[in-house]
Chains A and B, each alone.
Chain A
């Protein structure tokens, strides 16, 4: 009976997803933005538990919530607005920032793919690993372009985000880095939106630089990742 209702009225999945997400945001704010309670991660896990309990196949859930994916395209385009507004603040640094985005943006997928290749991982997963440091909406479309699995890309991106935020304080301390823009930009290049959210805890400047790092790296990556993956195919 419950399963019939779930299948016949798929809007419930949109309602549940939004509701769980709001609850997760509230929880994350209560926990002062701990990287372990990232709202996307928490609400996805809760949805997964509900899917398992109700014995609902992922395809059915993906179908029911496909409306969300229609807004991803315009949201990627909208990234140009904060990118433009932050660009003005950093004109003098732009060359260094572009260069470090390029270096970080190449090293991350290249090292991930090489390690996976050496350890005998199958090709579609290697190709999906290429997208791991890019902001999720861009990662999804790149994964599709290069022949990886978009939904696996979403998961790898989330994990990379979490790993980056856990490593960051230790790395910055060992390297003696303590200026906000450097911390923020590194987090944005390596850990995209996750890192950006985390960087705001260092301060507004760190957050702005992280957003810029995420945007520049994401845009550049969309262009060179398809070429980079050709090395492995």
Chain B
């Protein structure tokens, strides 16, 4: 029964998220709001109940499989991809490279700062 319990919790949070998006007229996917609601609830509750962890992990384990049918949608868009091949390729390459360099750089700087702080604190002791 614990699988049903876990599934019920996930569905209830999804529904709550959809309800909020609908009532507030937000252009945000209801499931994402549901995810944040569950995250806030878990932070408040302080731990993940076992039944919820097992259901969630089972669902996430098959998440990749759920993504196969939409990816097959490639066949429905072959024409668009062919017509815009150069633009899409250029856009994808640069829009992947730029944020990757940026994020890696930001974290690298933060790391160096952190470790020099730590070094100082230890030196003072």
Please give the residue numbers on chain A whose beta carbons come within 8 Å of chain B beta carbons, in ascending order: 17-18, 20-21, 39-41, 43-44, 47-48, 51-52, 58-59, 61-62, 65-66, 68-69, 71-85, 87, 93, 96-97, 99-101, 103-105, 107-113, 115-116, 119-122, 125, 129, 132-133, 136-138, 140-142, 145-146, 149-156, 158-160, 163-164, 167-168, 171-172, 175, 177, 179, 181-183, 185-187, 189-191, 193, 213, 218-219, 222-223, 226
CB <8 Å contact, B75 and A48: yes
Contact status A48-B53, CB under 8 Å: no
Chain B residues whose C-beta falls within 8 Å of the C-beta of A83 in the assembled complex: 35, 39
Chain A CB within 8 A of B27 CB: yes
Q: Is the CB–CB distance between B104 and A172 below 8 Å?
A: yes
Task: Scan B26-53; emit 1 where CB is below 8 A from any A CB, else 0.
Answer: 0111111011101100110000100011
Question: A68 to B83, alpha carbons, bound, how many Å?
Answer: 30
For the complex, give the distance between the alpha carbons of A60 and B56 in Å: 30
- In the complex, the answer to whether A156 meets B32 with C-beta atoms within 8 Å is no
Q: In the complex where A17-B68, A226-B27 touch, is A103 in contact with B48 (Cβ < 8 A)? A: no
Residues A72 and B31 in contact, CB atoms below 8 Å apart:
yes
- The chain B residues found within 8 Å of chain A, CB to CB, are 7, 10-11, 13-14, 17, 27-32, 34-36, 38-39, 42-43, 48, 52-53, 55-57, 59-60, 62-77, 80-81, 84, 86-88, 90-108, 110-111, 114
In the complex where A84-B42, A119-B87 touch, is A108 in contact with B101 (Cβ < 8 A)?
A: no
Check A115–B95 contact: CB distance below 8 A. yes
CB closest residue in chain A, given B32: A222
A-B contact pairs, 5 of them (CB 8 A): A78-B56, A109-B95, A115-B87, A167-B96, A222-B28
Q: Which of A51, A76, A97, A151 touches B70 (beta carbons < 8 Å)?
A: A151
On whether the beta carbons of B71 and A191 are closer than 8 Å, the reply is no
Given A99-B106, A163-B93: A155 and B74 interface contact (C-beta under 8 Å): yes
Chain A residue with the shortest CB-CB distance to B43? A84
Closest to A120 in B: B87
- Residues of A contacting B110 with CB < 8 Å? 93, 96
Q: Are A44 and B95 interface neighbours, CB within 8 A?
A: no
> Taking the nearest CB of chain A, how far is it from the CB of B13, in angstroms?
5
Which 4 A-B pairs give the minimum distances between C-beta atoms?
A151-B73, A141-B29, A112-B95, A154-B70
Using Cβ atoms and an 8 Å threshold, which residues of chain B touch A152?
73, 77, 80-81
Nearest-neighbor residue (CB-CB) of A105 within chain B: B99
When C-beta atoms are compared, the residue in chain B nearest to A158 turns out to be B71
Known contacts A103-B99, A155-B74, A72 near B35 by CB under 8 Å: no
* A82 touching B60, Cβ below 8 Å: yes
* Contact among A58, A77, A96, A159 for B73, CB-based, below 8 A: A58
Residues B35 and A182 in contact, CB atoms below 8 Å apart: no
The answer to whether A74 touches B107 (Cβ under 8 A) is: no
Query: Which one, B14, B60, B74, B106, contacts A44 given CB within 8 A?
Result: B74
